[in-house]
Every structure is written in C-alpha cells, then in structure tokens.
C-alpha cells in the first residue's frame, strides 16, 4: 500500500530525519490542494523557491487552464506561471492518487458558512479524507484554511489517523494560516511572515523548516489552536474596526460631518490610531466569515461573543443603509426606486481585485431588484457575473460600458467599489445623482450623497 512506502533514502532513515533532509536540500515535493486565491499563489511561490510543486483542484477546467499557462486570477502574471511550467517546477492535476508523490501537503480549501451562519467544514473534511486515503510515512500535512481553534486537532487529525499511521512519528500535522491580501502586490505570500503551530515538536519543527524556505520569517506558536486563533484575531480585529467606522459614518452623517474628512485628519496622528475606512458592507472570504467561526466555537465553551456579533450585525446591515440613503435621495428628486434606472459602480468586494465573494454589491443589487429598480453595473475587473452560492439569480450579468450616454441615462449611480481604473471625473460630470459609499468624491457637489 502507498501509505507503507517511503522515498529512497539511507537505509533505516526515520521519517522525520528524511523529511528534514528533503526540506533542507530543496528536493521535497510539495502538493497544494485547492488552487484558488490562496492556494495558487502559495503553489507558485513554493515552486519559485525551488521545490517541485503539484497543484490539485477538483475543477478540471482550472487544471487545464493552468497547465496551458493561462492563470485565471487577475493578480497572477501569466509570465510567472509560464516560467514555472517551462522549468517543470509546477504542474496542476485533478488526479488525487498523485498525492502519494508529495512530501508536504498544504490544504487551501474554502471554509464557508452554512445558511444558519455556522461553520461549513465539508471541504476541509473531504480533503482530509482524500489525503488519508493516500497518506504514507514521512509526509507533512499543513492546514492553511481559516477556521476555528481546534479544527486541526479535532477534525483533521482523527481522519488522517484512520490510516493506521501515528501523528508525530509516522506523519506530521500542523496549522499555518494563509495571509494573502488580494490587490496588494506588497502583501503577497512571498513577503509576509508565516505563523506556524502544531501539537507535537516534530510536526512544529518540520512545518517551520518548510515555511522558512518560502517566507521571510516564521513565527512559531505553542499549538495548532494558537495558530488558528491568531488568524481569527487578525480578521475579527478588522471586522470590529470596520463596524466601528461604519457606525460612526451613520452618526456623523446625521450631524452633517464628513466621516472621510475626520478619518483623514485622525490618520495624521503617528501613534495610537490605525486607519479603517467605512464602506457599503464587508466582503471577501475572510472578514464576513471568520467572526462567526469564533462565535460558534465560543458558544461550545459557554461564552457569548456579544462584541463580535454586534460588529457583524452592523456590517451586515450596511447594504440596507446604502439603499435607504439612495431611496431618500431619489425621493427628494421626485423619483421612486420602483422603475428607477440605477448603475452600480463596482461589484468586486474590494478595490482593484476581481473577487466577488461575499461582495456587498450583490446584496445591494438584490435589495434594489426587490424594490423594482432597473439595474445595471460597471466593473472593469468583473466583465460577467458567475454563479454564486447566495445570488444564483444574478449569474450571467454583463458589465456595461462607462460613457457619457450610459451615465446620463441613469437616475442614480452608486459607487460600491472604488477601483482605481475608473474615470470618476466622467461620473461626476454626467451622473444626475451619485451615492458614494467609498469617499471617492470630496467637496460640496450637490448631486453627491454620502452613504
């Protein structure tokens, strides 16, 4: 059986010693499971550091595209992929039997929420089952997917140990949270320190040895739970602070104060202040998800996360606030939402990315559709909408051009995502009403409404 085999090495070489040697000389083969926004950059960075990398995904169209040198993520350069393919450092595959070839296996699969806002770990569990079926002595498995403290120990470990192999001696298991920042070229996996935690010393040392080869620094913590908790803290911190400035935006609007002017002024303080900007709601795969993972796990320990859940309520309500502000602005101009022509400017969840996961733009689109608005959108990075878990009805929409005739035909334009490549001066000149959720338009234009 594959689980009983080890790669060629000195006779009697222990699994840990063998893997240490492979990591030290750069001859280990690394498998990355899940080639999305986290897995693909990790796979390419690892290959660039000299390792042989197998990238696995269940989507055969993705596999075919990558092996043909066509990256499907905007921030992944085709030349980068082509160079690695030519050097035979990277190969994509949907054949999971090849996992037996790997010495290091990184799990980078989604961790969404159920409709009841509880952790949905079916992708992690399913991936662990696939790995367990191929697991052999001397392999290191690292979970990178964001999740609640205890997942590695309570879910992944028991599945892998069904193989009959023992963690810490036969195989090794660790947790190291992904720290990708899409849209920020200086925040890639190549430049950010990696947090590593495991529940036995051998696993922790081997994981740290691997990541030292591909990251500028490794931060070891005492356990997998501590590493899992670190990632949740990072994202809960952002979610809570985003909720704070969103609530201040509403308060200051009632007082006639420009929240962005206030934030700009506060940001000049060189200590004791960290800038967060308000918006139409939270988006992406991490910040809208992770607080609920922690809240769910906290309830298991009899703790109510009131502060965190309140922040979630505030952020989740922001699309409704945007629609309310739009409705009032249209009403003041004698126009109901029902039948109004409204252009949403930006559908991605974040500036200068093509990622629409959990984007508040789709919530706004849904709310306005229910009110009878005639909607269109422009997003230079999202030419077409694809099928989404919660908004399947909006699959197949196409971005309209942004020109004078389009703008003048609208009753309102709502700035949802402030991409840098948009001609906002054109929008200012030709839109009858602008609802600005991102602070793009500064000044006293009478046709610009903050939201």
What value does the mean pLDDT take over residues 379-386? Answer: 94
Q: Provide the Cα torsion 159, 162, 165, 169; round to 10°.
A: 40
What value does the mean pLDDT take over residues 44-56? Answer: 97
Task: For tokens 């290191």, name the residue.
Answer: 140
Which positions are catalytic?
A: 286
What value does the mean pLDDT take over residues 205-210? Answer: 98
| CB neighbour list of residue 306: distance below 8 Å, 6 or more residues apart | none
Give pLDDT tens digits for 128-137: 999 999 999 9
Contact 138, 171 (CB under 8 A): yes
| CB neighbour list of residue 310: distance below 8 Å, 6 or more residues apart | 243
What stretch of H or E contains 142? strand 140-143
Q: First-to-last CA distance in the chain? A: 61
What value does the mean pLDDT take over residues 308-322? Answer: 95
What stretch of H or E contains 104? strand 104-107
What value does the mean pLDDT take over residues 304-315? Answer: 92
Residues of the chain within CATH 3.40.50.720 domain(s) are: 2-222, 238-450
Vertex 196: Cα angle to 21 and 353 (nearest 5):
110
Q: 116: pLDDT confidence band, cut at 50, 70 and 90?
A: confident
Residue 11: its pLDDT value, please? 57
Q: 117: pLDDT confidence band, cut at 50, 70 and 90?
A: confident
| CB neighbour list of residue 173: distance below 8 Å, 6 or more residues apart | 140, 141, 142, 143, 152, 156, 157, 160, 167, 198, 199, 203, 224
Residue 184: its pLDDT value, please? 64
Contact 44, 80 (CB under 8 A): yes
For residue 238, is pLDDT > 70? yes
pTM metric for this prediction = 0.90
Domain covering 2-222 in this structure, CATH number: 3.40.50.720
Strand partners, 412: 342
DSSP per residue, 170-199? TBEEEE------TT-GGGSTTTS-EEEB-S
Question: pLDDT > 90: what percent of the chain?
Answer: 84
CA distance linking residue 450 with residue 67, whole number of Å: 46
Give pLDDT tens digits for 144-168: 999 999 999 999 999 999 999 999 9
Specify the CATH number for 238-450; select among 3.40.50.720, 3.40.190.10, 3.40.50.2300, 3.40.50.300: 3.40.50.720
Residue 5: its pLDDT value, please? 46
Q: Which of 5-14, 158-167, 186-195, 349-358 has the lowest mean pLDDT?
A: 5-14
Q: Which of 69-73, 107-111, 270-274 has the lowest mean pLDDT?
A: 69-73
More confident: 404 or 188: 404
For residue 183, is pLDDT > 70? no
For residue 182, is pLDDT > 80? no
CA distance linking residue 412 with residue 332, whole number of Å: 12
Q: Provide the Cα torsion 221, 225, 231, 237; round to 10°.
A: -100
**Joined tokens for residue 338:** 């029902």
For residue 373, is pLDDT > 80? yes
Q: 288: pLDDT confidence band, cut at 50, 70 and 90?
A: confident
Q: 10: pLDDT confidence band, cut at 50, 70 and 90?
A: low
What value does the mean pLDDT take over residues 215-238? Answer: 96
Q: 315: pLDDT confidence band, cut at 50, 70 and 90?
A: very high
């Amino acid at each position: 059986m594959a689980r009983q085999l080890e790669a060629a090495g000195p006779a009697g070489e222990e699994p840990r010693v063998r893997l240490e040697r492979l990591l030290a000389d750069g001859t280990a083969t690394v498998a990355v499971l899940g080639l999305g926004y986290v897995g693909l950059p990790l796979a390419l960075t690892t290959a660039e550091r000299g390792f042989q990398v197998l990238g696995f995904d269940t989507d055969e169209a993705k596999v075919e595209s990558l092996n043909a040198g066509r990256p499907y993520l905007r921030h992944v350069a085709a030349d980068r992929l082509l160079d690695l393919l030519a050097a035979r450092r990277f190969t994509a595959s949907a054949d999971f039997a090849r996992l037996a070839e790997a010495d290091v296996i990184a799990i980078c699969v989604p961790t969404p929420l159920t409709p009841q806002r509880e952790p949905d770990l079916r992708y992690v569990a399913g991936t662990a089952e696939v790995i367990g079926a191929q697991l052999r002595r001397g392999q290191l498995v690292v979970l990178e997917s964001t999740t609640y403290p205890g997942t590695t120990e309570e879910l992944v470990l028991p599945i892998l140990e069904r193989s009959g192999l023992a963690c810490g001696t036969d195989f090794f298991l660790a947790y190291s949270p992904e720290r990708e920042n899409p849209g920020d070229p200086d925040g890639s996996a190549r430049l950010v320190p990696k947090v590593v935690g495991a529940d036995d010393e051998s696993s922790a040392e081997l994981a740290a040895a691997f990541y030292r080869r591909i990251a500028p620094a490794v931060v070891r913590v005492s356990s997998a739970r501590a590493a899992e908790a670190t990632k949740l803290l990072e994202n809960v911190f952002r979610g809570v602070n985003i909720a704070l400035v969103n609530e201040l935006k509403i308060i200051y609007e009632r007082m006639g104060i420009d929240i962005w002017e206030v934030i700009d002024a506060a940001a000049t303080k060189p200590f004791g202040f960290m800038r967060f900007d308000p918006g139409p709601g939270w988006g992406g795969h991490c910040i809208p998800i992770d607080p609920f993972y922690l809240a769910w796990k906290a309830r298991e320990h009899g703790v109510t996360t009131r502060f965190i859940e309140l922040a979630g309520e505030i952020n989740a309500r922001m699309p409704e606030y945007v629609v309310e502000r739009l409705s009032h602005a249209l009403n003041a101009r004698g126009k109901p939402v029902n039948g109004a022509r409204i252009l949403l400017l930006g559908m991605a969840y974040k500036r200068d990315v093509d990622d629409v996961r959990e984007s508040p733009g789709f919530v706004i689109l849904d709310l306005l559709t229910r009110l009878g608005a005639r909607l269109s959108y422009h997003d230079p990075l999202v030419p077409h909408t694809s099928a989404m878990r919660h908004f399947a009805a909006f699959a197949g929409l196409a971005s309209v051009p942004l020109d004078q005739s389009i703008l003048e035909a609208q009753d309102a334009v709502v700035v949802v995502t402030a991409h840098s490549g948009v001609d906002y001066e054109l929008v200012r000149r030709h839109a009858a009403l602008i609802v600005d959720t991102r602070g793009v338009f500064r000044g006293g234009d009478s046709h610009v409404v903050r939201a």
